[in-house]
Amino acid sequence: MIRTRILLMLSFLGVYAYSQTTTDIGIWLDHLPYRNGIDFHQQGGQVYCATEQGLFIYSPGEQDIQRFSKVNGLSDVGLSAIAWSEKHNLLVIGYENGNLDLLEGEAISNYPDILQSGNYPGLKRINDIQVEGDIAYISTDFGIVTFDLSLNFQERYVRETLIIGEESSTLRVLQTALTPDSIYAATDQGLLYASREDALIFSDNWQKDMSPGKTVNLITFFDNKVFINDNNPPNQDSVFYREDGVWKHFSFVDQGINSSLKGRNDFLSVTNSFSAQAYRADGTRVYNLTSQAVGEPDFNPIAALVDVNNTDAFWALTNGQGLYLNFQQFSTQNINPNSPKTKSIQAMHHDGSRLFVAPGSINEVWGPLFNTDGYFVLDEFTWSSKVPSTEEVYPDIITVISDPGDPDHYYLSSYGRGILEYANGALIRVYNDTTTDGEMLSFAGESQHRVGGFSYDDEKNLWFTNSLTDEPLCNINPEGEVTCFGLGSVAGSSTALRDILYTTEDQVWMQTRTNGIVVANFADGTLQGSTRLTGTEGEGNLPGSRILCFAEDLDGEIWIGSDEGVAVIYSPINIFEPNANYDASTPQIPQEDNPGFGDPLLGAEVVNDIEVDGANKKWFATANSGVFYTSADGTEQIYNFTEENSPLLSNNVLDIEVDGSTGMVYFGTDQGIVSFQGVATEGGTTNNDVFAYPNPVEPGYSGPILIRGLVTNAQVKITDIEGNIVFETVAEGGQALWSGNTFSGTRVASGVYIAYITDDLGQVTDVTKILVIN
């Protein structure tokens, strides 16, 4: 079995330390939710908190939070259990897919034995981990795995696989508890136990305990007794303990559906959906942390512990609000890592300085699902989660757009409820069937305003789709007046529309759910005509049966993503020209072994999104194979990031957004958001505030030197002070990179170097100086 170990630097690079002028081309950052707790453990001066997509460690003395994710060392996402090894001073981390990591000092080691095993497919989830001495007892959906922690990281191994169901059948084990002479297992068939002197590998040595719990889902060893939770929804759970061979009811626990039962030192901690409690062995309750106590109506604890060093302190990890620390029932501190509220993503939008995330939900037939997460904003390295209104519920925020002339003016679509207009952070207007300026929005059945997408034109008119109505295409002019257009038989009250694109040819492209693309043609704001593009030759020749996305590149070509790959309409102006050809073509990637032959670009892929960067190169989000980055014409693959070969969280990528000013590329997946520092930035028609960074270049620096603010695809020549050319390149959009080396790859000598910048025609020029110190 292959073992991998990643050494971690103490200064974990994350979005919170990232500079807009970073030279860390190729670096990955995570933007994951760290509020939805799974389990936690306090050890010495640190609290280890496992969340759905990552791990954070809180150090109370330093008031410091360290984050771990797939970006900086963890092997996976979907954490499901953690445990601490006192003897070996390490944290054991389990995942939903059976993967296993050990965090040991500054190193993370990965042990994919369970994950990669060909046995027990679909049953590998790690539900619980208990550590005693050298052994970690790992509860899974097929049984119990014992893992040896005693050896060095390359030699650690699975000792035994315990299949404890009747006649050696698989059995889901939820938790285990270790007593001096026995091991207990909470399973789907009740409470099982075995003597630790017997061979645990034989299922006949496991017996069913006739406990009062019909469905035992939680178990712990406390006060030299085994405590269990009888899970009995929709009624109330009950806690029992075994004493002198007899099960007794621990009646002091408040009624509720319990989520955690932890015995440590002199305290038994219990959590349910509304409170975290701690009891002494005699039943005395010493802590009762509720929503009223913490001032959070959505307080939802999933695990709790009395501080191991200070019994006046009580910790509670929650689902949605991070970590709480309570002192003597009076003072409560919320430790909530800066992160988005959830991993949910429907669409992203970058306005040049901020990233907006719309987490709303719709179903397969484009119906609203009443997601009330609001929307999230990343601004100056800080995440905020916003609710559109405290007076009314506006669910399913599925798309966002900012005013090109005023980023503080933006619009949201509450799918089903209409359009929300914001100015300076405040909701100033709602557009729906009560709109009074211009036309009112018509609605689909049951007053549904299904606004699926936004797009601005050059006159600052905001265009949007209003699905399943007689006038499904509308715009809002700069004065806030609404105008809607009927499209006749091309799209009407039975046509489901969603995404929209206003092109440089004054065409409006609209995505349908199952019937290709609707295109409307405008002149001076007047509808000239509309048509539908289909998969039929002569009518668009679109790929696949469903069109999922489209984008206009810097040459005015329309790139189309479908459930069967990608195609391009190179001359969209021809769509409304009589007898002109406008059928889509599929770019071909040349075969290295067969010159003259090519493979269709992403021919078998489901393409969810297409983004064009400042160099006119293309980013593709796929449903099954991660992210692809290609040359401008799509014939050369530059990257294919997957969850297997990169920090990408999932191969199901839902949306991509490019920050044109920095080149940062955001990947929204079904497991959350990560970003990648790309090279290309948006160029301009002229050079604008050209600068180099870093400048001066200090001794020991070996990263790229960035030259920014350039005319699009500028030619850049680097010379020494005497005019000798040492390097030349072409900018990626508005940014050029220089390694600080000559053409031959050797480091240039200390001195002043001059970067000469010009456009293709030699008409737009500029100069900047760079000081190199070796």
Q: What is the mean pLDDT of residues 459-467?
A: 96
- C-alpha 242/C-alpha 677 separation (Å) is 57
Q: What is the mean pLDDT of residues 279-308?
A: 93
Neighbours of 148 (CB within 10 A): 14
Whole-model pTM: value is: 0.92
pLDDT, residue 390, reads 77
For the ranges 320-334, 427-441, 619-633, the lowest mean pLDDT is seen at 427-441
Q: What is the mean pLDDT of residues 99-105?
A: 95
pLDDT mean across residues, the chain: 92
Q: What is the pLDDT of residues 484-502, one digit of tens each?
A: 999 999 999 999 999 999 9
Pairing type for strands 90-95 and 55-59 reads: unpaired
Q: What is the mean pLDDT of residues 127-136?
A: 97
Q: What is the pLDDT of residues 256-265, one digit of tens each?
A: 899 999 999 8
Q: Could you tell me if 502 and 522 are in contact, meaning their C-beta atoms sit under 8 angstroms apart?
A: no
pLDDT more than 90, % of the chain: 81
pLDDT, residue 20, reads 45
Q: How far is C-alpha 212 from the geometric centre of its chain's CA atoms?
A: 43
pLDDT, residue 392, reads 87
Q: What is the mean pLDDT of residues 539-556?
A: 96
> What phi and psi values does residue 361 have, to the nearest 5 degrees?
-125, 140
Q: What is the pLDDT of residues 575-613, one digit of tens each?
A: 999 999 999 999 998 887 787 788 899 998 999 999 999
> Residue 437 corresponds to which amino acid?
D
More confident residue, 18 or 188: 188
pLDDT more than 70, % of the chain: 96
Residue 352 confidence (pLDDT) above 60: yes
Distances (CA, A) of 567 to 563, 608, 628: 11, 13, 15
pLDDT, residue 596, reads 74
pLDDT, residue 105, reads 86
pLDDT, residue 18, reads 41
Residue 19 confidence (pLDDT) above 80: no
- C-alpha 87/C-alpha 316 separation (Å) is 25
Q: Which helix (H) or strand (E) holds 292?
A: helix 291-294
Residue 3 confidence (pLDDT) above 60: yes
Q: What is the pLDDT of residues 660-698, one digit of tens each?
A: 999 999 999 999 999 999 999 999 889 989 999 999 999
- C-alpha 675/C-alpha 18 separation (Å) is 12
Residue 17 confidence (pLDDT) above 50: no
> Residue 307 corresponds to which amino acid?
D
pLDDT, residue 521, reads 97
